[in-house]
Amino acid sequence: MNALPILEPATKETCCPPAGTVLGAEAAKEKAIIFKALSDPNRLRLLSIVKAEASGESCVCDLTEPLDLGQPTVSHHLKILVDAGLLHREKRGTWAYYSLAPGALDKVTGILANL
């Protein structure tokens, strides 16, 4: 049998890049959530403040003033960052403390490198 193989995009030269190297729809949705979390100036500043904190974590009580936002708004932004896997949240006593999720920024860098 000399059945012609089904052409894989990898063998095409006219328009499309190899299939394996192009981001699929589902993967793109997942990754877009992370960039969506990063797409707000206040959330970028929250990440920056948490990252710069010498102790490695910031109390939510210390995050409202630098941004000049109310605590509900800050908590809303923090939740988006936690849900996207960028921040880690730990409740201790009255307050919640936020730290960069280990490897989170490297993961985003990896997404960009492997687009």
d(CA 108, CA 99): 16
Secondary structure letter of residue 92 according to DSSP: E
Strand partners, 87: 100
Q: Per CB under 8 A, does 71 bind a second copy?
A: no
Binds a second copy by CB under 8 A, chosen from 3, 11, 54, 72: 54
Q: Per CB under 8 A, does 32 bind a second copy?
A: yes
Could you tell me the smallest distance in angstroms from the CB atom of residue 64 to a second copy?
10
The alpha carbon dihedral of 7, 17, 108, 30 has a sign of: negative
Q: Per CB under 8 A, does 4 bind a second copy?
A: no
Could you tell me the smallest distance in angstroms from the CB atom of residue 10 to a second copy?
10
